[in-house]
Amino acid sequence: MEIIVQNPAIQTIGVIDSVESLIWTERYFQSGDFEIYTPISNSQLMLLQENNYLRIPISDRVMVIESLELKTDIELGNKLVVKGRSWEQVLDRRIILQQTVIDGSLQTAIQQLLNENVISSSQPLRNIPGLIFETSEDLAITELTLQAQYDAENLYDTIQYLCETYKIGFKTTLNANDQFVFALYAGKDRSYTQTDTPYVVFSPNFDNLINSNYYQTSKNLKTYTLIFGDAYYGGARPRVEAVPEPKANYLTLSGLNRRELFTDAPDLSKYEGEEEIPIPDYNEQAKERGRAHLKEYVPFNTFAGQADTTIGFQYGIDFFLGDIVQTENEYGLQGRTRVTEVTISESLNGIRIFPTFAIE
């Protein structure tokens, strides 16, 4: 498989057509990564430099080279290890520079965060040339809403948290004009719970689930948080209660089901500029901050499996990253699982594709 190498100006500077191994992983809720392991050659060293971009024919993602490691060994030969992450991770280089109050469409909110901090910032030095936002018309995206307040948070972490919370994907691809296109997208439901799309099933009964590992624990679970807000205007700090899901009722969480957490949010201002934020809006912003904290204390419930994508259902044709599929193991544990990441692996044994599933 050819690996196309481009410089930061998006000019193709070469092609690598032989490596010992390539692991290329794409993720739905967060940035992907890659690793190349290959014998050292002067030609490859010239191409595989930090900040250069890598692309492969069977993926629309762009990877950024972030590290190089040279290993010398008299017996095994000299090897080069190249690692990096997908282009979305460059958003980690920015913070949300000024107070941003959100009340409305989630997609519009993410577009605003990108515009103000990396696309059309009032400080031009903060902008990344060639980055644009592509608006989705998918109802699974456009119907999502958000009330929140941000100030000085990391831009990538904020977008990643919002996408994972609302179960939507984000990615950056290159268009024909060599622009980096940031877009939100939603996977399709291909499980037994719907009838609009053909089912996609991974199971030993279909000979396409090679192995699986099911694990669950609620050891660190928290179900309620008390948020202390604005600490800068004197008087008693605002106190707001929140639970993990926006529509849940915290009064129903009692006894052993109630697991409490404190969220300290002194930066959560009661003012937007010189105007005081209405109490209902401020309370919802505080709840969103609390839900973000509770997100760190959720039950851990995974179904990891090695699927054979050469039998029955093929990745990129029958299912895609972010889709919900049906999985079942030998013991009858079954349900809707989302394809949260896909790893493309190339070695001396050929090219293989491994999806990873997470229980919905």
The pTM is what? 0.88
Q: What is the bridge-based pairing of β-strands 260-264 and 131-134?
A: unpaired
Q: The CATH number of 94-185 is which of 3.40.630.30, 1.20.1250.20, 3.55.50.10, 3.10.270.10?
A: 3.55.50.10
163: phi then psi, degrees, rounded to nearest 5: -65, -40
pLDDT in tens, 219-232: 999 999 999 999 88
- pLDDT (0 to 100) of residue 248: 61
Identify the CA nearest to 290 among candidates 325, 245, 323, 353.
Answer: 245
Residue 26's region, left for phi above 0, alpha for psi from -120 to 50, else beta, is beta
CA distance 151 to 272: 11
Judge contact between 81 and 66, C-beta under 8 A. no
pLDDT in tens, 305-316: 677 777 778 899
- pLDDT (0 to 100) of residue 250: 57
- pLDDT (0 to 100) of residue 249: 61
Judge contact between 161 and 109, C-beta under 8 A. no
Query: Average pLDDT of each block of 10 consecutive residues along the chain (360 residues)?
Result: 95 94 96 95 92 96 97 86 97 96 96 98 96 97 95 96 95 96 97 93 83 82 94 86 74 82 94 91 94 88 73 88 89 82 88 85
- pLDDT (0 to 100) of residue 247: 61
CA distance 88 to 94: 12
Judge contact between 335 and 327, C-beta under 8 A. yes
- pLDDT (0 to 100) of residue 47: 95
